[in-house]
C-alpha cells in the first residue's frame, strides 16, 4: 500500500461518504463496504455497535478538501489559520488595530 494515502470521506456519498471513503482507501467497490455495513445493521446484537462506529467515523474521517463539510473543521480548531490576521499582536504583546474610525464624544 502507498503510505502517503490518507483515508477521508468520499464525494461519492449516499449518507456521509464513510463507506465510499473506506472503499477508495482499500481500492474496492463502494457497494461492497455498503453491503457489509447493511448486513451489520440487520444483525440484532450488532446494530447499535455498527451505528456507533459509523457515527464515530463521520467525526474522525476528514471531509474532502473542496467539500461543503470541509468548512466545519473550524468547529474543532483545525481552521484557526484564517483567524490569525484578526488577532495580530505586536512584539510588545499589544493588539494591532487597523481601520479605526474616530468619533467625538460629547
pLDDT digits (tens, 9 = 90+) for 4-45: 777 777 777 788 888 888 888 889 999 999 999 999 999 999
Dmax (CA) of the chain = 75
Q: What are phi and psi of 55, to 5 degrees?
A: -65, -40
Q: What is the pLDDT of residues 71-96, one digit of tens each?
A: 555 555 554 444 444 555 556 677 76
| The overall pTM is greater than 0.75 | no
For 27, the 3-state DSSP assignment is coil
* Pure H helices in the chain: 18-26, 30-42, 47-60
Q: What are phi and psi of 95, to 5 degrees?
A: -75, 135
Determine the pLDDT at residue 38: 92
Amino acid at each position: 500500500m502507498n503510505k502517503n494515502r490518507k483515508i477521508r470521506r468520499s464525494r461519492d456519498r449516499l449518507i456521509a461518504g464513510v463507506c465510499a471513503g473506506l472503499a477508495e482507501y482499500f481500492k474496492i467497490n463502494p457497494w461492497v463496504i455498503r453491503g457489509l455495513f447493511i448486513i451489520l445493521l440487520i444483525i440484532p446484537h450488532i446494530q447499535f455497535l455498527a451505528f456507533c462506529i459509523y457515527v464515530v467515523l463521520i467525526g474522525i474521517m476528514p471531509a474532502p478538501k473542496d467539500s461543503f463539510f470541509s468548512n466545519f473543521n473550524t468547529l474543532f480548531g483545525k481552521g484557526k489559520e484564517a483567524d490569525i490576521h484578526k488577532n495580530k499582536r505586536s512584539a510588545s504583546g499589544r493588539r494591532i488595530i487597523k481601520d479605526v474610525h474616530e468619533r467625538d464624544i460629547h
